[in-house]
Structure 1
Amino acid sequence: MPMLLSADQIRARVNADWDSILDVVKDRIALRPISANGISGEHMRASAQYVADKLREVGVDAQVVQAHDAQGNPSAWEVIGSTVVDENAPTVLLYAHHDVQPVPDENEWNTKPFEGTQQGDRLFGRGACDDAGGIAIHYGALKALGDQLRVNIKVFIEGEEEMGSASFIPFIEAHHDEFESDVIIVADSGNWAPDVPSLTTSLRGNATCDVHVKVLEHPVHSGQYGGPILDANTTAAMLIAKMYDEQGELNIPGLKAGEPIGGLQRDLDEVSMRAAAGVVDSYKLAGTGSLASRLWTKPSATVIGFDAHPVEGSFNVISPETTFRVSLRVSPLQDPHEAMNAMVDFFESNAPFGAQVHVEPLEAGMGWAMDPNCTATQDALESLKEAFGVDPVNKGEGGSIPFIPELQKIFPHAQVLVTGPEDPISNAHSPNESVSVSGLKNDVVAEALLLDKLAQND
């Protein structure tokens, strides 16, 4: 069996080709592939074609294919392709997306958002980290390995991730063979810091519902009936208040919680978290346990909408009924439909003063948890350490990336690894988005090392 390539060998190759790798990021920024401007538009087709051309440079038989949504309508421009080096070798699917978020106000940027601008160790531009950096990682890793690539490669570069991936499942179902693989590397997340690597270990699921609260058949005067009859808004507020206990722990029976997947190497910094979120000084963070568990692997419920009369123009009547919407972030250890049922039971069985409460379930999406013990995970952690020179710090995500659990569901035997070029100051989706140049280079080295190690697992 051939010897594994060393980190020094890979880094020398990446350094030699670095300008061309970084140009991929700059070119991607300049293409303005904003899917919100039309996922089936010519600008998105051109973006996909650029990616396909770059992948062909590094040996992938890549092509641009237009997806169709569930109704059969033409949709996003996708890039798929493959290269087979040995039918008996493991197959690795490389995922990234080529679409980016809009730039509502260019005046909020310190640089031109669609011109890659390097300042120190940061390269600024819309999509620099999300996800031109991910495309560059795949391109750079394959370029570094060249004819010493020892795993079969499949690629899927999506064209509508920033729009919710409506065509994702129909496209996979229509191209199942192009996705079948042993390992899936999703380069759409990030590192603990520019110089500290991470695998993303978990994603919370979600369950959303509308809660309808009714106390009267019609509005009545608050002076005449107020006291024995509480308005629907107050009644709903009392119901909402029951969701959490005095410590800020979610108090809905049947919801599961857990500790960070793969163990907690380092907790999140509360000072940094408070500053990033703009928490007022007087507010004490809710909940117990590590901050990481509260954000990654414990459930949380948020009222994201409330039907109430605005303060301006309000008058003295008792509101007869109201509706509020709850977004529940579900532990990656629990099925979201089970969590939804728990939420429905809680609200409908805790109606204050016997008010009529009806819960309307809306959407439910699966969370995801990495297998911390599988060989691919261990190979990834070792590769990250060799590339960055420090131990990785695994991290979860409090939000959801719906296509990852969908991929795992459709291909249950594939090991999914979530990596990426972002870091805490990347500002993805926001003004002054950027990627760490040194961090990106280390990510390229790490993925090349990982692909080489995965060849040993046949």
Structure 2
Amino acid sequence: MTPEEIESAVEAGMPQAVEDLRRLVAIPSVAFPGHPDEPVLAAAAMTEELLRGAGLPNVRQIPVEGSFPAVFAEAPAPEGAPTVLLYAHYDVQPPGDSAQWRTSPFEPTMIDGAMYGRGAADDKSGVIAHVAALRAFDGEFPVGVKVIVEGQEEYAGERLEDFVEANPDLVRADAIVVADCGNPRLGEPALTTTLRGMAAFTVEVRTLRESLHSGAFGGAAPDALGALMRMLSALHDDRGDVRVPGLPQGTFEGGSEETDDDFRATAGVLDGVSLVGSGSVADRLWSSYAITVTGLDVPTVSGAINAVQAVARARVTIRIPPAGDAKTALDDVTGFLQKVAPWGAQVTFGDFVTGSGFMAGSGGRARAAIDRAMERAFGRAPRDVGQGGSIPLVAKLSGLFPEAEILLYGAEDGDSSIHAPNERVNLDELRKVITAEALFLANYGA
């Protein structure tokens, strides 16, 4: 197919792609504990249906121990052509506080050329990007195709890592496309070349056998909540830089066009509130350690009583530069919190999670093919960016297949509000990504 034929096929297929995305986003496929299994399995079934409809001859669901099924599909390579593995995930984050959503999170809503709904961007747009790009070839693919779409990336993606490690030939490919990233801004194509790793844990502080009346005991009885607050505030200096020994600030080598003002606008930082940390925005987001308290188990304001707390808990997440080691960072942070705990408070840690980062190589045939494809689809060449988040499977694939080129891109953008209320995907951005992927497959197979 010529580039013009590919573009026409993608354009003609967009109404179906949008309708498929709407149907998929309407399924509340939250794979977190406490949420029902049925919607997640329904999303797996629809993903299987979509891949069959994209012309792939072999499609099936594969059980993943301790997790939801992965949907796998494949088509053999034409003689002499390379094979491409396409990855996405069909599970989504919980919607959170429904009062903060302007539309219902699982009732996809069109507003000003964008679809709003949980998972519209992360990562059901990735599923649809693969499906729609493959449809453009009407079953005559220029490369060998393998597709794996997992069902529990948001909560426990390491389970698919274990499966892939045990079944490497199933996903072996010359190039790997991970459609779970995006562009900093609409219309500005980017390839993610670094991913921070992550670690997370729960810290519990105990100071008393049970909570006590603050009037009778406050002032002498050690408050577990106060102790925990002191410990957590010690993790950063006054500027907001991480002050845990062994976790230095890094530098992003790829450069960045984003300024502090750009970031303030994208992040919605309130007037008069400063950014935290030092170095460039790219340094802070993509190449340095970051520590965030993501949850607290303490009495709510509405349910507060006059008591000195006996126990308090926090969930803490560490983002780790690509070259950093998640286990070492976990040990450094937990050791630091233990050291700064006041008043001899009893401190314990649990619920550990770790994930490795990723750094792309210099690029070869696949990178050249996607560069040309993106430049045609977007009207400008892509630039390299990092991503502060982690994708558990990427580091595993990089280790298993060091000779394979891994390309990370997608239809998300800086205003997509992934993992937040009012998530959305811009449909013209999605069209450009679908076009770029189809052109890439043709370029790479030529």
TM-score range, shorter chain: 0.7 to 0.9
Bigger Rg, which one: 1
Determine helix, strand or coil for the equivalent of 2:123.
helix
- Residue 130 of structure 2 is aligned to residue 141 of structure 1: no
Deviation at 1:184, TM superposition (A): 1.6
| Residues in 1 aligned to 2:107 and 2:238: alpha-carbon distance in whole angstroms | 50
2:56 pairs, out of 40, 45, 60, with 60
Instruction: Look up the equivalent residue of 1:61 and give its one-letter code.
Output: P
2:362 pairs, out of 370, 373, 389, with 373
Deviation at 1:196, TM superposition (A): 1.2
| Residues in 1 aligned to 2:293 and 2:96: alpha-carbon distance in whole angstroms | 27
Deviation at 1:275, TM superposition (A): 5.1
Q: Which residue of 2 aligns with 1:399?
A: 389
Instruction: Look up the equivalent residue of 2:256 and give its one-letter code.
Output: Q
Deviation at 1:52, TM superposition (A): 2.7
**Contact 1:203–1:396 (Cα < 8 Å) also in 2:** yes
TM-score calculated relative to the size of structure 1: 0.80
Aligned residues: 442
- Residue 352 of structure 2 is aligned to residue 360 of structure 1: no
| Residues in 1 aligned to 2:35 and 2:207: alpha-carbon distance in whole angstroms | 45
1:155-197: CA deviation from partner (whole Å, max 9, x where unpaired): 1122333443474245435643321222221112222222111
Q: Which residue of 1 aligns with 2:433?
A: 443
**Contact 2:198–2:357 (Cα < 8 Å) also in 1:** no
Instruction: Look up the equivalent residue of 1:382 and give its one-letter code.
Output: R
| Residues in 1 aligned to 2:335 and 2:290: alpha-carbon distance in whole angstroms | 17
Alignment of 1:299-338 (within 5 A): 299-304=289-294, 312-314=304-306, 325-338=315-328
Instruction: Look up the equivalent residue of 1:363 and give its one-letter code.
Output: F
**Contact 1:198–1:394 (Cα < 8 Å) also in 2:** yes
Residues 1:340 and 1:34: Cα distance change in structure 2 (over 3 Å): closer
TM-score calculated relative to the size of structure 2: 0.82
- Residue 285 of structure 2 is aligned to residue 295 of structure 1: yes
Instruction: Look up the equivalent residue of 1:67 and give its one-letter code.
Output: P
Determine helix, strand or coil for the equivalent of 1:264.
coil
Deviation at 1:329, TM superposition (A): 1.8
**Contact 1:340–1:361 (Cα < 8 Å) also in 2:** no
Alignment of 1:169-208 (within 5 A): 169-173=161-165, 175-208=167-200
Of residues 152-161 and 421-430 in structure 1, the stretch that sits farther from structure 2 once superposed is 421-430
Residues 1:382 and 1:227: Cα distance change in structure 2 (over 3 Å): same
Q: Which residue of 2 aligns with 1:265?
A: 256
Of residues 130-139 and 220-229 in structure 1, the stretch that sits farther from structure 2 once superposed is 220-229
Alignment of 1:210-221 (within 5 A): 210=202
Q: Which residue of 2 aligns with 1:76?
A: 68
**Contact 2:207–2:224 (Cα < 8 Å) also in 1:** yes
| Residues in 1 aligned to 2:97 and 2:223: alpha-carbon distance in whole angstroms | 42
Instruction: Look up the equivalent residue of 1:82 and give its one-letter code.
Output: E
Instruction: Look up the equivalent residue of 1:265 and give its one-letter code.
Output: S
Deviation at 1:335, TM superposition (A): 0.8
Deviation at 1:415, TM superposition (A): 2.6
- Residue 274 of structure 2 is aligned to residue 284 of structure 1: yes
Instruction: Look up the equivalent residue of 1:63 and give its one-letter code.
Output: V
Q: Which residue of 1 aligns with 2:246?
A: 254
Residues 1:395 and 1:219: Cα distance change in structure 2 (over 3 Å): same
| Residues in 1 aligned to 2:43 and 2:230: alpha-carbon distance in whole angstroms | 51
Give me the identity figure in percent. Answer: 33
| Residues in 1 aligned to 2:37 and 2:219: alpha-carbon distance in whole angstroms | 58
**Contact 1:202–1:367 (Cα < 8 Å) also in 2:** no
**Contact 1:64–1:79 (Cα < 8 Å) also in 2:** yes
Determine helix, strand or coil for the equivalent of 1:86.
coil
Residues 1:360 and 1:113: Cα distance change in structure 2 (over 3 Å): closer
Residues 1:89 and 1:197: Cα distance change in structure 2 (over 3 Å): same
| Residues in 1 aligned to 2:98 and 2:298: alpha-carbon distance in whole angstroms | 35
Of residues 59-68 and 43-52 in structure 1, the stretch that sits farther from structure 2 once superposed is 43-52
Instruction: Look up the equivalent residue of 1:57 and give its one-letter code.
Output: G
Structure 2 residue runs without a partner (length 5+):
none
| Residues in 1 aligned to 2:52 and 2:229: alpha-carbon distance in whole angstroms | 58
**Contact 1:209–1:359 (Cα < 8 Å) also in 2:** no
| Residues in 2 aligned to 1:215 and 1:34: alpha-carbon distance in whole angstroms | 36
Q: Which residue of 1 aligns with 2:19?
A: 23
2:84 pairs, out of 83, 86, 92, with 92
| Residues in 2 aligned to 1:133 and 1:92: alpha-carbon distance in whole angstroms | 19
Deviation at 1:254, TM superposition (A): 1.4
- Residue 405 of structure 2 is aligned to residue 415 of structure 1: yes
| Residues in 2 aligned to 1:303 and 1:289: alpha-carbon distance in whole angstroms | 22
1:25-83: CA deviation from partner (whole Å, max 9, x where unpaired): 23323555555686753x5444434333332333312423252424xxxx524321111
Deviation at 1:447, TM superposition (A): 0.7
- Residue 117 of structure 2 is aligned to residue 128 of structure 1: no
Residues 1:285 and 1:192: Cα distance change in structure 2 (over 3 Å): closer
Instruction: Look up the equivalent residue of 2:75 and give its one-letter code.
Output: T
| Residues in 1 aligned to 2:212 and 2:19: alpha-carbon distance in whole angstroms | 67
Deviation at 1:442, TM superposition (A): 0.9
Instruction: Look up the equivalent residue of 2:19 and give its one-letter code.
Output: D
Instruction: Look up the equivalent residue of 1:24 and give its one-letter code.
Output: D
| Residues in 1 aligned to 2:180 and 2:13: alpha-carbon distance in whole angstroms | 23
Instruction: Look up the equivalent residue of 1:260 and give its one-letter code.
Output: F
Residues 1:255 and 1:105: Cα distance change in structure 2 (over 3 Å): closer
RMSD: 3.9
| Residues in 1 aligned to 2:94 and 2:229: alpha-carbon distance in whole angstroms | 36
| Residues in 1 aligned to 2:421 and 2:49: alpha-carbon distance in whole angstroms | 29
Deviation at 1:110, TM superposition (A): 5.5
**Contact 1:209–1:360 (Cα < 8 Å) also in 2:** yes
